[in-house]
Amino acid sequence: MNGKRNGNRTGFVVSLIAKLGRPVIRHLSELASESLKQPGSWQCLEIVYRNEPRKILDRFFLNSRSARGARNRLQVLKDEICKCIEQRSRINNPVRMISFGSGPGHEVIGCIEKLRNCINIEAICIDKEPSALAQGRLLAAQKGLDKCIEYVQGNILHTNSNTVRHDIGILSGLIDYFSFETAISVLKMIKEQLLPGGTVLIANMRRHKLASTMSVLGNWNLVYREPEDVESILTESGYEDIEVWLEPEKVFCIGKARKLG
């Protein structure tokens, strides 16, 4: 009963916010204001990760299931990446990873910061937004990690495979914007950049009861997928040892798979 009551209350709040109109929402919410400028931007995620309500409606948005799920996604990916790094460090030195659509690279920075005293790690963060890369460089420098992480401007749809092969490939919240066919094409390209036994980690939002929150905040044109859809994409892309699960809020699917050959 409590879950149903909370869901009804949230649905009412979402409907009320929608009726207020964008100018009012922008005034009452930092997250909404940023999202209306550029839906799904790295700046929006920074506000979600920071989780410090600065305006009245942010208390609602930052405690929504979508926001909690995004913070879970970040932590789950950090944990999984760290496991992969520890495993690959028994084979390769340094362990190399690459993140596409990385934003500032919070997953990468968090893992290197945790393991830098015991494992040699090199990373590349690729994003099309110069401001996201600038923020990443700043964060990495503040933590003394600027020599470990290279920030490169680029679009995954126009990225040529390079000669350097990686142990880990990361796509957090990127295939949400791709069709089934494009997602497969991208993941095949990434597979070519992985070493044998290398791991790819991806995340994709599901359609859930509060997905309408995204519509309230702006026109987030996402491709929602269920675990079986994520598994199908990884299978069609030629990966093996595929695992797909949900983070605790069940908002995001997390996929993990390996390149065996």
* Mean pLDDT value across the chain: 88
- Top pLDDT among 216 and 117 is at 117
Alpha-carbon span 35 to 43, nearest angstrom: 8
- The answer to whether 188 touches 227, Cβ cutoff 8 Å, is no
CA 9 to chain centre: 28
For the chain, what are the domain ranges?
A: 2-62, 69-258
pTM of the model: 0.88
- For 138-185, write each residue's pLDDT tens digit: 999 999 999 999 999 998 877 666 678 999 999 998 999 999 999 999
- The answer to whether 218 touches 209, Cβ cutoff 8 Å, is no
Length of the chain, please?
Answer: 261
- For 23-74, write each residue's pLDDT tens digit: 667 678 888 888 878 877 899 999 999 999 999 889 988 998 889 999 999 9
Among 219, 147, 160, 221, smallest CA distance to 192 is for 160
What local confidence, expressed as pLDDT, does residue 120 receive? 97
Confidence of residue 187 (pLDDT cuts 50, 70, 90): very high
CATH number of 69-258: 3.40.50.150
**Encoded tokens for 12:** 């009412």
